[in-house]
């Protein structure tokens, strides 16, 4: 099982000091947090995508590629890549490039986001948000799995004989998680392709997302990818840790009180009791996370939100120390002891390569010689199947 953190890239005033960091400070802090996550033994660092203030992560793939150069082991992911407003051709190319730079330590979580104005900013209609998400991933899947793609859909210009470059590392696409908090059609698409399903498990009552996760599991089995317990599930959550429970509540209270994402008609203690928000000692965080497993069944990835609401960098780094030293090692043992023998392992690039090639060497695409125009003639790769020639447009 994989344990890590995810972030939304908010730039928020610290309510205890009145200080608001600059964009440059928050970007630098996020890099330090990702490096620290690896140092303390976490498995995943994920960053979201936003195109409006007070957020900075308009290009998570750029940030993740930079972090890849500073780390060696941790898996880098997005907590949301907007499949609705990004061109799937650019997603295919940019994330394949980042996957190469990260030597396979990169996957992607697709979502629709929650910022209404982003749609017209990118020339899209929010009323078509769900059809956009479904169609765009259908195309992205083909761009990563087929060397040459002919495509005609509803929301973008057709493609004829198009090859997305570079091809994914080892000809194995980054693992795809589909994120949703309310839409069964997204869970259905994740199940259809045998991809992962991620529920952010935030700002809602305990167990709120279980029906959607259960639906995904059933459809995963329906499409023949394995049993329901072999479906690939990721969960979010939120944690604030101190050695003593009361110290954790006292330190987090001003950030809770000032954050608009919470229901302030109830207290922090009531919110922590009724929702996936975990505040307290390391043992309390452990117990709360084990309850996730009791509710949702065995799952493959647990990510916590720990960098938001104006928490200063030093406090976040201290949180990561506690998470990595006192919480995650115990959770690894406890989760393994309770795990069903039939549950799937968490996906990695190495496991996907083994599943595709077994003991054989993975494919390493090598282009044919440059013909000057690069878009006409036979397949662009030396190892293409002669029985399946590429279909290229005729240039007049």
Tell me the CATH number at 154: 3.20.20.30
| Residue 276, token pair as written in the block | 């996936």
Q: Phi/psi of residue 77, each to 5°? A: -145, 170
Peptide bond between residue 250 and the one before it cis (omega within 30 degrees of 0): no
Kindly state whether residue 230 falls inside one of the protein's structural domains: yes
pLDDT per residue rounded down to tens, the chain (396 residues): 999 999 999 999 999 999 999 999 999 999 999 999 999 999 999 999 999 999 999 999 999 999 999 999 999 999 999 999 999 999 999 999 999 999 999 999 999 977 888 889 999 999 999 999 999 999 999 999 999 999 999 999 999 999 999 999 999 999 999 999 889 999 999 999 999 999 999 888 899 999 999 999 999 999 999 999 999 999 999 999 999 999 999 999 999 999 988 888 999 999 999 999 999 999 999 999 999 999 999 999 999 999 999 999 999 999 999 999 999 999 999 999 999 999 999 999 999 999 999 999 999 999 888 765 556 556 788 886 555 444 444 433
Q: Phi/psi of residue 53, each to 5°? A: -65, 145
Kindly state whether residue 262 falls inside one of the protein's structural domains: yes
**Half-sphere exposure (CA, 13 Å, Cβ side) for 283?**
3
pLDDT of 231 reads 98
Contact 61, 93 (CB under 8 A): no
Kindly state whether residue 383 falls inside one of the protein's structural domains: no
Kindly state whether residue 364 falls inside one of the protein's structural domains: no
Q: What CA–CA distance (Å, rounded) separates 187 from 380?
A: 35
Kindly state whether residue 373 falls inside one of the protein's structural domains: no
Element (H, E) at 235: strand 233-235
Q: What CA–CA distance (Å, rounded) separates 44 from 24?
A: 23
Kindly state whether residue 83 falls inside one of the protein's structural domains: yes
Q: What CA–CA distance (Å, rounded) separates 16 from 312?
A: 10
Q: What CA–CA distance (Å, rounded) separates 310 from 121?
A: 27
DSSP letters, 10-28, are: B----TTT-----HHHHHH
- Category of 196 on φ-ψ map: left (φ > 0), alpha (ψ -120 to 50) or beta: beta
pLDDT of 261 reads 86
Beta-bridged to residue 110, according to DSSP, are: 81, 178
Kindly state whether residue 390 falls inside one of the protein's structural domains: no
Site of tokens 């505040």: 279
Kindly state whether residue 365 falls inside one of the protein's structural domains: no
Domain that holds residue 291: 2-357
Count of domains forming the chain:
1
| Residue 345, token pair as written in the block | 């392992």
């Amino acid at each position: 099982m994989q344990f890590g953190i995810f972030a939304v890239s908010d730039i928020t005033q610290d309510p205890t000091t009145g200080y608001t960091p600059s964009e440059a400070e928050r970007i630098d802090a996020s890099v330090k947090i990702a490096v620290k996550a690896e140092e303390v033994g976490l498995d995943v660092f994920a960053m979201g995508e936003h195109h409006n203030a007070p957020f900075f992560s308009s290009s998570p793939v750029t940030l993740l590629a930079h972090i890849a150069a500073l780390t060696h082991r941790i898996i880098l992911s997005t907590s949301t890549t907007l499949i609705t407003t990004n061109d799937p051709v650019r997603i295919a190319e940019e994330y394949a490039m980042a996957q190469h730079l990260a030597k396979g330590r990169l996957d992607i979580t697709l979502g629709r986001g929650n910022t209404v104005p982003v749609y017209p900013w990118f020339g899209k209609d929010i009323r078509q948000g769900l059809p956009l998400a479904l169609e765009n991933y259908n195309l992205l899947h083909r761009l990563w799995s087929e060397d040459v793609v002919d495509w005609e859909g509803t929301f973008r210009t057709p493609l004829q004989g198009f090859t997305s470059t570079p091809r994914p590392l080892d000809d194995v696409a980054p693992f795809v998680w589909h994120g949703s908090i309310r839409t069964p059609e997204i869970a259905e698409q994740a199940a259809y392709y045998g991809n992962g399903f991620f529920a952010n498990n935030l700002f809602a009552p305990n167990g709120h997302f279980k029906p959607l996760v259960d639906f995904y599991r059933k459809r995963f089995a329906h499409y023949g990818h394995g049993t329901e317990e072999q479906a690939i599930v990721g969960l979010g959550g939120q944690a604030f840790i101190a050695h003593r429970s009361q110290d954790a509540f006292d330190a987090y209270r001003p950030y809770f009180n000032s954050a608009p994402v919470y229901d302030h008609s109830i207290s922090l203690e009531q919110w922590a009791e009724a929702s996936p928000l975990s505040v307290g000692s390391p043992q309390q965080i452990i117990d709360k996370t084990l309850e996730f497993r009791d509710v949702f069944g065995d799952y493959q990835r647990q990510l916590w939100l720990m960098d938001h609401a104006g928490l200063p960098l030093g406090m976040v780094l201290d949180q990561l120390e506690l998470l990595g030293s006192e919480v995650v090692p115990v959770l690894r043992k406890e989760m393994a002891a309770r795990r069903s023998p039939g549950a799937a392992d968490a996906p990695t690039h190495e496991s996907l390569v083994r599943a595709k090639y077994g003991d054989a060497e993975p494919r390493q695409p090598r282009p044919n010689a440059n013909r000057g125009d690069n878009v006409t003639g036979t397949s662009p790769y030396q190892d293409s199947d002669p029985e399946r020639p590429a279909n290229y447009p005729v240039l007049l």
